[in-house]
């Protein structure tokens, strides 16, 4: 606390990110990073941008990141998305922050699930947006009918975090269609792990001017360290985001991020290979944990949400930590007996299973 803090700073409750330990040799299953390296084309593009002496860094990057917007539009060419329907930012966290400020009404509460990405309430605090939480049902699923009330906007994560549960695209459509007066945001940080065909709401963007889909390259493109996120929506929504961005920071993405992300999005084969590997490991890990008596929610993400009926989640998490394995535990009503565990390579998943077998025997 300081005499010099503004009233706003006194009121804030900042987000607490998952731990990024400095120790090597940990099995890190706590922040849903991808275990595989990014596309080699992404690495080559960044090296090329840097050149031999780095002199390109003398110059500011493209403030509009046109090449990246074109790559996003191209990525969704089957849905006829144009670059004017794309906004890019420094991680989807930044895109979300701008979206909260630009597109949620400040005179009516927004609706969000009781269990969801815990950054949303933080943005509500930062931008003075009221919110009402709508409980997930007893199976941790979103019930679209529960959202039938007046609101200043709606945001859901799909697949949801930290539950991993997927709201089918038909239900997403029903949610968006039943609130034509509000912006409905679908945070699809994990959608690329959502099945054989990717059930993305980007498919609906050209039919619903109130829909904003938010994505990140952090998870499915193995680029959490590069900080690139984007949104796809009607060009009027995108223009609102641009107005905020250009009143805040004209150059949110640096030259290396623009070059790397542009190349990463063009490498569809790399995405296909790595997302399939993660989905296969998820199936194997789910079966192994069920064999140990864990209950595992069906997951469409690169993590699973699980509990053991006979063992306390906090104790399991600390016993794993003693064995150099870090998972995520939320001290929050309804889910304090669950653990969120990132899907890694099969080798790391097997190390986890072996550790859990040992822990629950004691």
Ligand X SMILES: *Cc1c(COP(=O)(O)O)cnc(C)c1O
Least distance in Å: CB of 5 to ligand X? 26
Which residue, 34 or 216, is less far from ligand X as judged by CB?
216
Tell me the two tokens of residue 30.
């706590």
Distance between start and end Cα atoms, the chain: 45
Q: Which of 151, 182, 210, 216 binds ligand X (CB under 6 A)?
A: 216
Taking the complex as a whole, the smallest distance from the CB of residue 287 to ligand X amounts, in Å, to 25
Give the residue, chosen from 85, 151, 157, 182, that forms a contact with ligand X under the rule CB under 6 A.
157
Residue with tokens 């400020």: 101
147 binds ligand X (CB under 6 A): no
Residue 324 gets the label, from left (phi > 0), alpha (psi -120 to 50) or beta, of: left
- Residue closer to ligand X, measured from CB, 218 or 299: 218
Among 34, 92, 158, 274, binds ligand X (CB under 6 A): 92
Q: The tokens of 78 are what?
A: 């089957």
Task: Single out the residue of 229, 233, 252, 260 in contact with ligand X (rule: CB under 6 A).
Answer: 229
Three-class SS state of 284: helix
Q: Which of 161, 191, 253, 285 binds ligand X (CB under 6 A)?
A: 161
**Do residues 149 and 155 lie in contact, with contact meaning Cβ atoms separated by under 8 Å?**
no
Please identify, using beta-carbon distances, which residue of 34 and 157 lies nearer to ligand X: 157
Among 49, 187, 192, 254, binds ligand X (CB under 6 A): 187
Residue ranges in 32-91 that form contacts with ligand X under rule CB under 6 A: 91
Residue of 76, 87, 100, 117 interacting with ligand X (CB under 6 A): 117
Tokens at 318, concatenated? 């600390």
Gyration radius from the chain CA atoms: 21
Residue 166 · residue 199 · CB < 8 Å: yes
Closest CB to ligand X among residues 231, 317:
231
Residues 233-252, mask of contacts with ligand X (x by CB under 6 A)? --------------------
Binding residue (CB under 6 A) for ligand X from 224, 257, 258, 285: 224
Whether residue 342 contacts residue 32, with contact meaning beta carbons closer than 8 Å, is answered with yes
Q: CB of residue 31 vs ligand X: minimum separation in angstroms? A: 8
Closest Cα partner for 178 from 135, 211, 142, 133?
211
User: Could you say which of 33, 93, 192, 254 contacts ligand X (CB under 6 A)?
Assistant: 93
Residues 6+ apart with CB under 8 A from 265: 68, 71, 72, 74, 75, 217, 221
Q: Is the dihedral of CA 124, 334, 341, 297 positive or negative?
A: negative
Which residue ranges make up the site for ligand X (CB under 6 A)?
91-93, 117, 157, 161, 187, 189, 216, 218, 224, 229
């Amino acid at each position: 606390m300081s005499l010099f803090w503004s009233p706003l700073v006194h009121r804030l409750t900042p987000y607490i990110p998952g731990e990024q330990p400095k120790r090597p040799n940990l099995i890190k299953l706590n922040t849903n990073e991808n275990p595989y390296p990014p596309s080699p084309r992404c690495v080559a593009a960044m090296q090329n941008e840097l050149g031999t002496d780095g002199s390109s860094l003398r110059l500011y990057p493209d403030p509009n990141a046109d090449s990246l917007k074109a790559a996003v539009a191209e990525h969704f060419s089957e849905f006829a998305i144009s670059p004017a329907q794309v906004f890019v930012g420094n991680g989807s966290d930044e895109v979300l922050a701008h979206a909260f400020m630009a597109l949620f009404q400040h005179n009516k509460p927004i609706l969000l699930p009781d269990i969801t990405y815990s950054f949303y309430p933080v943005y509500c605090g930062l931008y003075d947006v009221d919110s009402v939480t709508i409980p997930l049902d007893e199976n941790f699923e979103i019930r679209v009918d529960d959202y039938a009330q007046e609101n200043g906007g709606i945001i859901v994560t799909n697949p949801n975090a930290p539950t991993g549960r997927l709201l089918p695209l038909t239900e997403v459509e029903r949610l968006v269609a039943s609130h034509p007066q509000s912006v409905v945001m679908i945070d699809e940080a994990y959608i690329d792990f959502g099945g054989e065909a990717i059930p993305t709401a980007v498919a609906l963007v050209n039919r619903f001017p109130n829909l904003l889909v938010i994505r990140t390259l952090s998870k499915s493109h193995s680029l959490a360290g590069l900080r690139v996120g984007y949104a796809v929506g009607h060009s009027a929504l995108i223009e609102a985001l641009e107005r905020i961005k250009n009143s805040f920071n004209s150059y949110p993405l640096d030259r290396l991020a623009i070059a790397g992300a542009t190349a990463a999005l063009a490498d569809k084969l790399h995405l296909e290979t790595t997302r399939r590997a993660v989905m296969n490991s998820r199936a194997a890990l789910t079966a192994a944990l069920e064999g140990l008596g864990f209950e595992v929610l069906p997951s469409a993400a690169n993590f699973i949400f699980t509990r053991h009926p006979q063992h306390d989640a906090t104790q399991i998490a600390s016993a794993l930590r003693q064995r150099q394995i870090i998972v995520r535990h939320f001290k929050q009503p309804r889910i304090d007996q669950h653990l969120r565990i990132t899907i890694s390579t099969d080798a790391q998943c097997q190390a986890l299973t072996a550790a859990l077998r040992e822990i629950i025997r004691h």
